[in-house]
Amino acid sequence: MGATLTTVYCDGWDDGVVNPLTRDIAEARHAGGEPYSVVLLAGGRAHAVVDVALGDGYLGLTRFDGYGGRASRHQWRRSRTGDLFLREARRWQGTTTTTVSFELNGRRTDFVERGNSSAKDFTPDSPAPRLAVPAFGQWQALLEFAGDGRPEIVDASSHPLPVRAGVRPWQPPRPLRPYRIEELFADGAERPVRDRTTRISTHAAGPLHLPSGRLVAADPSSLDYGEEPFTVTVAPGGYPVTISVATFADDPGHRRVAAARLQITDSPTATWELALRDGQDRLDLGDGEFFGFGVDAGLGCFVDEDNRERLSEEWERFDFDRFTTLAEGGMVAWSSGWGDGAYPTWIGRNSSGAVTCFVADMLLFGAGT
């Protein structure tokens, strides 16, 4: 595309310009990592929108066809080396939608939807395309990658687009974040669940023996399927496990496990991070996503990697109300929140960066993004 594109700065695009911004304000947001959008016009019509949130390591480019419909959308994420990698590219053509996504481990996924049919394909050795983080106003490389060539880009002195005030119509993708984890282990704390009130109580489950210091959190019925330990390890030893139980105030017989905590040190937790396994990278996560362990038997457990296979059948002894310690401290198991699903484990660190605990969160009260 050789035509000149003109720019309009704003909070976002929603069939019109939402909260127009001056160039100076947009440039300041760019430098400060704050979200803003750029509408690129061709012939007085919206040709593309660039959503920028460098503080969250995100750039999105949406292109439109000549009729105002979406033609393509590219989502770029900033890698740890400072450049951008393509997380996802989606194209719409008639009744066909093609989505290509990349992970930092080199895996590519192609997903094609045609009417009521779909097909998925995986390519294990396909590194994500990369681009340098563009300077303010320099969107040519993004457009060229999407198929627009390298058009000239200038600021618009005026435009015919509709304008309105309102809430920014987009958010940068933010993976799931821990939500008030400390309160899960505060006896007597009250937390709302589905318009009902619950009261927290904590229960000692005894020590968990970690002969290798490599922790596995999993559905105990899946331990013989190769569940991997977390990449963060601790010194071998025995560590106490505490189970958080939420009791419904209007039905004291209704109790559910809210979380399980493996305490490594007694120092206060200053920060939380998502526990990862080999090959997992937080940069691969989209909005509200997390890496966690899947549950199909309504149970979760902590176990050392060296004991994983040896104790893979211990879960069959699970005949108790909410939690138990099995195999003389080789495993701690509990009923999993609302039941089957997927659950994250958070790692706490103190102000010096040392690991304080691992918390398997049953998401009984939701989580932050």
What does the pLDDT read at residue 171? 93
Q: pLDDT band for position 194 (50/70/90)?
A: confident
> How far is it, in rounded angstroms, from Cα 302 to Cα 312?
12
Cβ neighbours for 295, distance < 8 A, ≥ 6 positions apart: 219, 336, 339, 340, 341, 342, 343
The structure's pTM equals: 0.84
C-beta of residue 335 within 8 angstroms of C-beta of residue 256? yes
pLDDT tens-digit series, residues 315-369: 777 666 789 999 999 999 999 988 899 999 999 999 999 999 999 999 998 765 4
| Encoded tokens for 90 | 């989606």
With 70 as the cut, is the pLDDT of residue 241 above it? yes
**Tally of CA atoms within 13 A in the half-sphere of 338 that contains its CB:** 9
Helix (H, G, I), strand (E, B), or coil: what is residue 359? strand
The pLDDT of 289-309, averaged and rounded, is 94
Torsions phi, psi for 260 (to 5 deg): -130, 130
DSSP state of 107: -
What does the pLDDT read at residue 367? 64
Query: 54: left (phi > 0), else alpha (psi -120 to 50), else beta?
Result: alpha
- Within its chain, how far is the Cα of 315 from the centroid? 30
> How far is it, in rounded angstroms, from Cα 66 to Cα 63?
10
pLDDT tens-digit series, residues 104-148: 989 999 999 998 899 999 999 999 999 999 999 999 999 999 999
What does the pLDDT read at residue 2? 56
> How far is it, in rounded angstroms, from Cα 201 to Cα 209?
24
